[in-house]
Structure 1
């Protein structure tokens, strides 16, 4: 299977490594890519694990996220801008667009996401949506 975050890569050589062990994720962008892939394959446990503990969805929200992730057809991910977020940093941002089809309509999530390191690995904190 091609990796959802980048069809040039195989899933097993790319985001699946992150899904198997979050410590394999070295940058905020890599975490963003692995989270997108987790939405595509509906790996909600990874989405929870990669979400910062201070903003992690509760059980009800987790079920809603899982149902929504399974109900849409994910098309592609575009990374627009990254700031900081390298292996040497503790914080970073990634602006991205994620394209999907829901109920026959094209949708786009355009967000500038905040990431920080927690417990030795990158974690998604929150994001600001753009129109």
Structure 2
């Protein structure tokens, strides 16, 4: 991401947090050092708050969907599915690394798509971070 855009987003987020802290009900539990870091361009704070802002392409989403759909449509394939490790190479061959796959599969899970396939990943045939795909809480 362009540094200027990243800094602008950080300053906007810092101002939002600062305003929330001034509200009577103090709706934000971000500490003052985080707000200071965002408002003053501290890269480590910005990176921690903004995280990965890379775009996940429609092509990548479709690639993961096509792989999961194969198991979703075929009960025999689903019954023999051993976990994430079974599809990881195919995902990578299509340009989808593990972290991107986690984000896409988490979104599918939130949309109640491929739920049986996703539930089957909660086994020793999957790395720890690829067993449950629940959206994190977005409490401030």
Per the normalisation by structure 1, the TM-score is: 0.24
Structure with the largest fraction of strand: 1
Higher radius of gyration, 1 or 2: 2
Structure with the largest fraction of helix: 2
